[in-house]
Amino acid sequence: MKFMKLGSKPDTIQSDGNNARYVASELATDITVTVGDVKFYLHKFPLLSKSAYLQKLVASGNEENNDEIQISDIPGGPVAFEICAKFCYGMTVTLNAYNVVAARCAAEYLGMHETIEKGNLVYKIDVFLNSSIFHSWKDSIIVLQTSKSMLPLSEELKVVGLCIDAIATKACIDVSKVDWSYTYNRRKVPEENGNDLNCNGFRNRPVPKDWWVEDLCELEIDLYKRVIMNIKTKGILSHEVIGEALKAYSYRRLPGFSKGVIRSGDVIKYRSTVDTIVWLLPAEKGSVSCSFLLKLLKAAIIVDLGEMAREQLVRRIGQQLEEASVNDLSIRAADGEDVVYDVDTVQKIVKEFLMQDQNAEFESEDNEVQEIRRPGILTDASKLMVAKLIDAYLAEIAKDPNLPLSKFVDLAEMVSCISRPSHDGLYRAIDMYLKEHPGISKSERKRICKLMDCKKLSVDACMHAVQNERLPLRVVVQVLFFEQVRATASSGSSSPDLPRGLKDLNIGSHGSSRSAATHPEEDWDAVATAEELKALKGEIAALRMSNSIGGSERNGGDSRNSVDKVAICKMKGLLKSKRIFSKIWSSKGAQGENSGSDSSESLGSANPEEAKSTPSRNRRHSVS
């Protein structure tokens, strides 16, 4: 720390222990200055020779009481006045980063300018600030902190502005020129991990670009805001470094921020902090991580930040949603809500993400309309990542016993437009919801299962589904049939068409108004009984055997018809229950021409054209 000594005489101002200060001198004191609750017994000549304010007070006082002066509002109080008094006596005064602002403001208050005497205190302090303090990184930060208690005078004297500019200038300096100490504890460098045998290797460490961000965390939010704005104005540092600074400040100044909460405390203060950080965010995409933005959003909700700031965060999060994790998206609902999670906010975020695909501009050139794609257009990879993220998020919120089915379905349908090769994640979420909400109706169970495409379930998911007592029997049979289709395709034979009875079953899963009225399907929408699942489970191994049957049929006669016969026979074997058997085949002829119009919409529907695809395309997943 830099310091400056003024005067050469020994310090002879002493205290009697009872809030009284006096000068040890042979001359009797002739003036008493009361500052706050402290009395100073001093001499007029040294004081009046350097202070215009004291001259005025003494001159304006009456003759009977001009040796007693009351000063109640001097900046810095008794401590700062004592520094000024010692300077008047020529005593040694030590100035440093902690007391220089108070001394400067007190000297200004007392009018200790060059017009009164050459080399007065104001001049000497200004020289010390400009030649020493503002050249020191940590001293500048300390001075800026102490200047807050001296407002508004420290602002009027430009001490605050000069400090801010000095700090910002040093933060923007080339890292190769940084040769002063700074605080950097966020990431351990190799030397700190014991990988460097050089004990004095500090000077050999590369200086990180964000070397300055931790030291600025000591500043209050209003001063911090001004420093960051000054840094941004200079346009030297990248937006990623600015983002790193805001992240470090948030973690330091918002208790519990790293866990997505704000601990009890001064809500107004925290609201101001969150609002300022949101306002300071660089406009460039990727300047801060999506995880950090979601933590900011959670904090904004907790401190009840304004709607405009929240919308800004939702928009920013939506632009880089593919970076998020389920834990990031787990925004707790407000106190008093029945549900655990704030699903509505997540829906807004997903909407912002999907809107990026609509941000295409069109330009006319030579009477032809051409599409101009901007950088924000989504890639297939980012869309797939978001679809998987939402599937996992649905599995998490499904554990909430109070979550309405509509919120689950609405969110799932938002990403249904994103084609993904596997629906295992969605199946897991649906199964979790059915597990936690056993009391939902048949129609609700049917509605949630319609979200899933049975053709896109992996072998493991199929194995689980055909033994799942929570699924409607319709879904179990469909899963089993498509597993048979996949097994047949993998054997090299043509994939069988969906038997007409199961086609009619698929029609009913969506339920056209005509077929539903003629053939009610409560049996199919009910969950499978233990006896029925046992029969299905017993046939899983038999389905594997169908490969060899299909292979032998391929070498003689119409292989396609043979495989169809195998599949239908297997289905008949599975459907041992009298009510199920009669249901499938009674609907076979009654549906008539309705099957062609509705089958494409049904849960896990099998398009005959898709079923005719080559074995290589159906080996693992059917084409969506």
209-258 confidence digits (pLDDT tens): 999 999 999 999 999 999 999 999 999 999 999 999 999 999 999 988 88
Question: What is the pLDDT at residue 563?
Answer: 41
More confident residue, 260 or 102: 102
434-483 confidence digits (pLDDT tens): 999 999 998 999 999 999 998 899 889 988 988 888 888 888 888 888 87
Question: What is the pLDDT at residue 60?
Answer: 80
Q: What percent of the chain has pLDDT over 70?
A: 68
* Stretch among 226-235, 386-395, 490-499 having the lowest mean pLDDT: 490-499
**Structural tokens at position 8:** 């050469």
**In 3-state terms, what secondary structure has residue 364?**
strand
Question: What is the pLDDT at residue 369?
Answer: 46
More confident residue, 382 or 366: 382
Residue 595 pLDDT > 60, yes or no?
Answer: no
Which element (helix H / strand E) includes 182? none
How far apart, in whole angstroms, are the C-alpha atoms of residue 432 and residue 412? Answer: 14
Q: If you average pLDDT over residues 254-271, what whole number do you get?
A: 81
CA dihedral defined by 527, 531, 536, 540, rounded to 10 degrees?
130
Question: What is the pLDDT at residue 268?
Answer: 82
**In 3-state terms, what secondary structure has residue 362?**
strand
Closest C-alpha among 83, 79, 88, 90 to residue 35: 79
Average predicted confidence (pLDDT) for the chain: 78
Handedness of CA 595, 600, 601, 603 (dihedral sign): positive
User: DSSP per residue over 118-159, as a string?
Assistant: TT-HHHHHHHHHHHTGGG-HHHHHHHHHHHGGGTTHHHHTTH
Q: What φ, ψ does residue 31 adopt, rounded to 5°?
A: -150, 140
**Structural tokens at position 160:** 């605050």
Amino acid at 87: F
Residue 322 pLDDT > 90, yes or no?
Answer: yes
Instruction: Output helix, strand, coil percentages for the chain, rounded to the nearest 5.
Output: 60, 10, 35
Closest C-alpha among 391, 412, 394 to residue 403: 394
Do the strands 38-42 and 20-23 form a parallel or antiparallel pair, or are they unpaired? parallel
Q: What percent of the chain has pLDDT over 90?
A: 48
Question: What is the pLDDT at residue 195?
Answer: 42
63-98 confidence digits (pLDDT tens): 556 688 889 899 999 999 999 999 999 988 899 999
Write the burial class of residue 402 (CB in 10 Å: 0-12 exposed, 13-18 middle, 19+ buried).
Answer: exposed
Closest C-alpha among 63, 75, 23 to residue 46: 23
How far apart, in whole angstroms, are the C-alpha atoms of residue 60 and residue 79? Answer: 26
**Structural tokens at position 319:** 């632009």
Closest C-alpha among 297, 395, 284, 427 to residue 349: 297
* Stretch among 365-369, 476-480, 507-511, 571-575 having the lowest mean pLDDT: 507-511
How far apart, in whole angstroms, are the C-alpha atoms of residue 437 and residue 470? Answer: 10
Q: Contact at 8 Å (CB) between 621 and 615? A: no
How far apart, in whole angstroms, are the C-alpha atoms of residue 384 and residue 371? Answer: 24
Q: Contact at 8 Å (CB) between 444 and 411? A: no
Phi-psi region of 475 (alpha: psi -120 to 50; beta: other; left: phi over 0): alpha
158-217 confidence digits (pLDDT tens): 999 999 999 999 999 998 888 888 887 755 434 334 444 343 444 456 889 999 999 999
Question: What is the pLDDT at residue 163?
Answer: 96
CB atoms closer than 10 angstroms to residue 339? 17
- Tell me the CA distances in angstroms from 368 to 365, 372, 623, one per residue in order: 5, 12, 34
CA angle 234, 239, 240 (to 5 degrees): 135
How far apart, in whole angstroms, are the C-alpha atoms of residue 390 and residue 393? Answer: 5
- Tell me the CA distances in angstroms from 522 to 86, 441, 498, 505, 580, one per residue in order: 97, 11, 22, 12, 11
398-447 confidence digits (pLDDT tens): 999 999 999 999 999 999 989 889 999 999 999 999 999 999 998 999 99
Q: Contact at 8 Å (CB) between 146 and 101? A: yes
- What is the C-alpha end-to-end distance of the chain, expressed in Å? 69
273-305 confidence digits (pLDDT tens): 999 999 999 999 989 999 999 999 999 999 989
More confident residue, 455 or 106: 106
CA atoms within a 13 Å half-sphere pointing along the CA-CB vector of 493: 29
Question: What is the pLDDT at residue 19?
Answer: 81
Q: If you average pLDDT over residues 118-143, what whole number do you get?
A: 95
* Stretch among 4-13, 129-138, 599-608 having the lowest mean pLDDT: 599-608
1-52 confidence digits (pLDDT tens): 665 666 556 657 777 667 888 887 778 888 899 998 899 999 999 999 999 9
